[in-house]
Amino acid sequence: MQRLLVSSCLFWLCLAWTLPAQSAELAPVWQDLRERLAQDGVAGARVDALLATLPAIPTQSPMGRKMLALYKKAFFPKPRIQKTDYYKGVVTKANAQTCLDYLHSHRAAFEAARTRYGVPCEIAVALLFVETRLGTVLADVPENALYTLASMAVSRTPDMISQWLPKMRGVKKRMAWLEKKMPGRADWAYNEVRALIRYMLDNDIAPENMPSSIYGAVGLCQFMPSNIAIYGADGDGDGRIDLFTIEDATASLACYLAKHGWKAGISLDDMHALLMKYNHSKVYANTILALAELITAQEQGQPAQEQGKP
């Protein structure tokens, strides 16, 4: 935590000296984003400093990947998911033991979240494993949340994702669909980047300390920025919400589930439905519940079946 704070303070101090030049050099592609943020009350020297860190050219990957997924879903849908489908290679005894070891190492954080929000420790640790492999994948994540979401926010027309169009079979005759769909996703991303900037300013976080998913989700628990203000919880009592710490991430994911209806003693079907609110995927909910069951079985020394092995 101290290293993060020192790095962030140095970031803002350095930018304070170079701000006038950096602001003047803001690439044209980001100017409309800057003006839109200002209209929403997100403006000033620190906002300009953040935007000045953006590369001159947006990345096509996040919006291109999202539109490709939506395109395939709309025109080439896959068979419906069954309740017996799981992410391959996740619900294994080895992974359950990894979760169990992690749970034992951070028992206080998981127990505090369980006491406060009613979410079992096994569910919470299984969710963290599915999201970020308990944080281990974050060290190798190339995506930066600010760049990812800002790029999506300015990508409103098909020419902004030209590298991805060849991956969309038959797209030439469906270009009108793409032109209609993209502005809505860009507006969604704008709301997220606005929330992200506010969060970064409030907590003195530099962009390099904010790795993200391919669509801008952050932290061990992979929250979209707009969810942090609503569901983020200070698990360690330091007055900040840092989703890259186990205490805050565990408390926040439990808070999210609790505010959507999770409580002690709910049925398995209700658990499944609430996990789908966290990520609207049956396979996602299936996998977390199966992994949590395997964790519990191994902790109690009972036999349990692995699922979805390759």
Task: Tell me the pLDDT tens digit for each residue of 90-147.
Answer: 999 999 999 999 999 999 999 999 999 999 999 999 999 999 999 999 877 788 999 9
Residue 298 burial (CB count, 10 A): 17
Is residue 119 a contact partner of residue 254, using CB atoms and an 8 Å limit?
yes
CB atoms within 10 A of CB 141: 13
**Prediction pTM value:** 0.87
Q: pLDDT per residue over 21-68, tens digit each?
A: 344 479 999 999 999 999 999 999 999 999 999 999 999 999 999 999
Assign 283 to helix, strand or coil. Answer: helix
Contact between 147 and 59 under an 8 Å Cβ cutoff? The reply is yes
Query: Burial of 131 by CB count in 10 Å (0-12 exposed, 13-18 middle, 19+ buried)?
Result: buried
209 neighbors 7 (Cβ within 8 angstroms) = yes
